[in-house]
């Protein structure tokens, strides 16, 4: 049996207690990486970790706190010895009319979606540079690629992380560190459970997606795992839409296709 693509690698995944983050932790584990899982709730993390086979590490953290990223980096490096792969998946989201958006909502989204990833990257750069290898994958969104109503603040945070991804790729490339974003479309997770109960929402999403289905968390996790591996060794600075074609369809046609 050949070596697994991420054997002898370590990974840190934020927002790993559910949805895309949990699926990513499982996918990286299957590919051979030892994974540190991060989220606010230790019990939820432990449930995901119980399904992994490579001595996973559970690190509870609240990335809304200004000092959380530095503390998290220190804990991860202490537990794993190194971090070869960083998946910035933790996110705060809200679907609100701009007139209903206040400073607290904007601050939380920027803190979790932009500040925490940048500070976590900054804290891990020295260790990655020393090993001259690293793959950083930031979770963006189709909302950062196209206009989506009632998501201006969320879209702003995701547009910001895409811009940061491009800048970081230029800065860190000479050190052997790759930086990319993954932009999911509509993913069938608990975040959409309420909306799915509204008449017509399921069909509307399918009509906006050329592949005519919702994404599953594994659809996103598999692309993240690819970007983490040497199969993507010459890819950096990209935002890869994993949305079943939604962004292109909306850009071309401005509505259902």
Q: Which residues are catalytic?
A: 154
Token pair belonging to 208: 């906006």
Dihedral of the alpha carbons of 90, 112, 124, 35, in degrees to the nearest 10:
-20
Q: Can you count the helices (H) and strands (E) in the chain?
A: 10, 7
Strands 34-39 and 134-139: unpaired
**Dist CA 202 CA 191 (whole Å):** 14
**Dist CA 182 CA 138 (whole Å):** 6
Q: Which residue has the tokens 């709730």?
A: 41
Residue 55, Cα to own-chain centre: how many angstroms? 22
**Dist CA 8 CA 176 (whole Å):** 17
**Dist CA 227 CA 137 (whole Å):** 7
Q: Which residue has the tokens 């992380």?
A: 161
**Dist CA 222 CA 238 (whole Å):** 16
């Amino acid at each position: 049996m050949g070596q697994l693509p991420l054997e002898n690698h370590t990974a840190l995944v934020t927002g790993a207690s559910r949805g895309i983050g949990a699926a990513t932790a499982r996918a990286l584990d299957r590919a051979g990486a030892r994974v540190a899982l991060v989220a606010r709730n230790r019990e939820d993390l432990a449930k995901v970790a119980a399904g992994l086979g490579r001595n996973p590490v559970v690190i509870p953290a609240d990335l809304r706190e200004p000092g959380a990223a530095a503390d998290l980096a220190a804990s991860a490096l202490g537990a794993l010895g190194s971090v070869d792969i960083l998946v910035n998946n933790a996110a705060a989201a809200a679907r609100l009319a701009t007139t209903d958006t206040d400073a607290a909502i904007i601050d939380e989204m920027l803190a979790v979606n932009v500040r925490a990833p940048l500070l976590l990257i900054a804290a891990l750069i020295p260790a990655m540079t020393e090993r001259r290898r690293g793959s950083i994958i930031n979770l963006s969104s189709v909302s950062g690629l196209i206009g989506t109503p009632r998501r201006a603040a969320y879209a702003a945070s995701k547009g910001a992380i895409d811009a940061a991804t491009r800048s970081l790729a230029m800065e860190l490339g000479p050190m052997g560190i790759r930086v990319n974003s993954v932009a999911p479309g509509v993913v069938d997770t608990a975040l959409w459970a309420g909306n799915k109960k509204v008449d017509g929402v399921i069909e509307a999403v399918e009509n906006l997606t050329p592949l005519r289905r919702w994404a599953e968390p594994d659809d996103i996790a598999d692309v993240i795992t690819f970007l983490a591996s040497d199969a993507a060794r010459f890819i950096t600075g990209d935002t890869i839409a994993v949305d079943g074609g939604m962004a292109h369809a909306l850009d071309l046609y401005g509505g259902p296709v």
